[in-house]
């Protein structure tokens, strides 16, 4: 899939699920838990890997490989 709009929407959905979830949205001074940190880090690492693969595919298709 090479549609940046779809990529952006997928990233937005992940952000709502992991980055902007409880405990971030629960109260004026939320305390971030180890579970929150682990889930957010795992989601971010997966997105980084996916971005690298998408960039590689884009470059390969641009240079005819």
Confidence of residue 52 (pLDDT cuts 50, 70, 90): very high
CA distance 55 to 53: 5
pTM, two decimal places: 0.73
Segment 4-33 shows an average pLDDT of 83
pLDDT of residue 49: 96
Report the run of H or E that residue 6 belongs to, with start and end. helix 4-14
What is the rounded end-to-end Cα distance, in angstroms, of the chain? Answer: 17
Residue 65 banded pLDDT, cuts 50, 70, 90: low
Indicate whether 27 pLDDT > 80. Answer: no
* Cα distance between residue 12 and residue 18, in whole Å: 10
């Amino acid at each position: 899939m090479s549609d940046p709009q779809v990529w952006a929407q997928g990233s937005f959905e992940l952000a709502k699920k992991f980055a902007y979830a409880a405990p971030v949205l629960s109260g004026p001074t939320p305390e971030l838990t180890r579970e929150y940190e682990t889930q957010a880090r795992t989601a971010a690492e997966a997105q980084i890997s996916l971005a690298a693969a998408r960039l590689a595919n884009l470059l390969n298709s641009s240079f005819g490989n």
